[in-house]
Structure 1
Amino acid sequence: MNVQTNSMPSQDPTATPDTRIDARTRRGRLQMLMLLLVCASPVIFSYFTYYVVKPSGASTNYGTLVDPLRPMPPENVTNERGEAVPLASFRGKWLMVMTAPSACDEACAKRLFTMRQIRAGQGQDRERITPVWLISDTGAVDERLSSAYNEPYAGVRFLRMDAVALRQWLPAEPGAGAEDTVYLVDPLGNLMLRWPKEPDPKQISSDLKKLLKFSRIG
C-alpha cells in the first residue's frame, strides 16, 4: 500500500540562529523602507512635477528651492499660551514661515499681511496652509498685531524659537537676512523653498497653487 506523506518546508539546516535573525532584520528594514516611500510619495511627486515636468504653459517657479532640503531641527517652540511644544508637532500642513523679533517693524507687518492674504486667496485649499511667525526673542508682541493676524482670527501662528537655531535652519539669500523673506516648509517638515527679499505676493500665490495642485498631502 502506498502511503502519501505531506512534506513541510524546512529551514536551511546549515543556517545558524544568527543568520536567520539577520535575514528577518533585513526583511523588516526593507518593509519599513517601502512604507516610508509610500508615505512620502505624494510630496515626492509634487516636487517632481513642479520642478521637472513643468505643466504646459507654466512658467518657472518664483521661489528658490532649498538644496538640500532641511528637516525641522529637534527644537521646541513656545506657543501663544507660553507652552513649550516640539517644532515637529506642526508637521502635516504646508507652513509659510517668516521670522522677526517681537518689535515687528513695517517690513515685518507687511510680511504678516502678505502671508494672511495669500492663505486666504487659496480658497478651499487655505486650510492646508499654516502661516507661522517665528519670533526670535522674548519681547512682548503689539496687541494690534495679535488682533489682526494671530489665530483664530487670521490663522497665523505666533511661535517663539531660539534665535541661534533659527539662523542655522533658515538660509538667507546673498545680501539679505532670514528676516527679509518668507519660506515654505512641506508637510513632512522639510524646509524646501525660499522666496526673494520683498517678494511679490502674486508670484508666491502662484507657486503655492501649483504645489497644492500636484500634491494632495497636507
Structure 2
Amino acid sequence: MQQKSKKFTAIALILVFTLPVILAKLALDNEWFNKGSTNRGQLLNPIIEAGELFVVEGEEPHWRLAYSIPEVCDVACENAIFSISQVRTAVGREMDRVDAVFIVTENSDIKAVENLETNKFGKVLKTETKNVNNLFNQVGKNGIFIVDTLGNVVLKFDSTLEREQAIMDSRDILADLRKLLKLSRIG
C-alpha cells in the first residue's frame, strides 16, 4: 500500500511540473491566444532611422510627436496639428520630455506654417521635400509619428478627416506615448 502511495506521489509531482510546460508549448504552437501587441499605433518594422533630421547636436534627447505639413493643409492636417498639441499637453508633468515637431518643406502650406509659428504649437523643422519623401517612402508621410530619443521613427498614427475620430485617435497616441515614456529612462 505504501509502495502505491509513493508511486502516485512521484507521478503527481512529475505531472505538476511538466504539464504546464507542455500546455504552454501547445498554446504557443497552435496560437491559442493573442500575441501581446498592446500598441495602438502602427508599429513600424523596420523602424525609420532619421537621426539626422530629429536629433540636434548638443540638445537633450526628447521623444517627439512629428507631422509633415502637406502642400494643402486640409481638415485632416488641422486635426493632426490639434491632436499633437493636445497630446503633448495631456502628457502632464512628462511634457518636458516630449517635443511637438512639424516638418516643413518648400511646398508646405504657407498659412499652416504661419499658424504654427504664431501659436507656437511646437518646433518647426525645415527641410527639402525630397528628404521627407525619402524618409517616409515606405510608410507614407500622411500621419502622426512618434520618434524616439535617438531619432528613430517607431510608430505611425493615420490622420483623419473627422474631428471626433481625431480626438479618439489622440487618446491612442497618448496611451502609446505614456507607455513609451514609462519604459524609457532617456529623454
Q: State the TM-score, normalizing by the size of structure 1.
A: 0.57
The 5-angstrom pairing of residues 1-218 of structure 1 reads: 60-72=38-50, 74=52, 87-89=54-56, 92-101=61-70, 103-137=72-106, 141-142=110-111, 143-148=114-119, 150=120, 154=121, 156-171=122-137, 173=139, 177-179=140-142, 181-198=143-160, 200-218=169-187
Q: Distance in 2 between matches of 1:68 and 1:139?
A: 27
Give 1:94 shift.
0.5
> Following TM superposition, where does structure 1 have runs of at least 4 consecutive aligned residues deviating by more than 6 angstroms?
none
- 2:141 partner amino acid: A
| Deviations, residues 165-188 of structure 1 (Å, cap 9, x unaligned) | 111212564xxx412x10111001
| Deviations, residues 95-127 of structure 1 (Å, cap 9, x unaligned) | 111102365333212211110000000011011
- 1:65 partner amino acid: L
Q: How many residues align?
A: 142
- 1:193 partner amino acid: L
> Alpha carbons of 1:186 and 1:169: their partners in 2 closer, same or farther (altered >3 Å)?
same
Q: Distance in 2 between matches of 1:99 and 1:68?
A: 20
Q: Is the partner of 1:68 in helix, strand or coil? A: strand
CA-atom RMSD, angstroms?
Answer: 2.6
Q: State the TM-score, normalizing by the size of structure 2.
A: 0.66
Q: Is the partner of 2:55 in helix, strand or coil? A: helix
> Alpha carbons of 1:214 and 1:161: their partners in 2 closer, same or farther (altered >3 Å)?
same
- More helix by percentage: 2
Q: Is the partner of 1:178 in helix, strand or coil? A: coil
Structure 2 residue ranges without an equivalent (≥5):
1-34, 161-165
Equivalent pair of 2:52/2:151 in contact (CA under 8 Å): no
What percent identity do the matched residue pairs reach?
Answer: 28
> Alpha carbons of 1:74 and 1:215: their partners in 2 closer, same or farther (altered >3 Å)?
closer
Structure 1 residue ranges without an equivalent (≥5):
1-52, 76-86
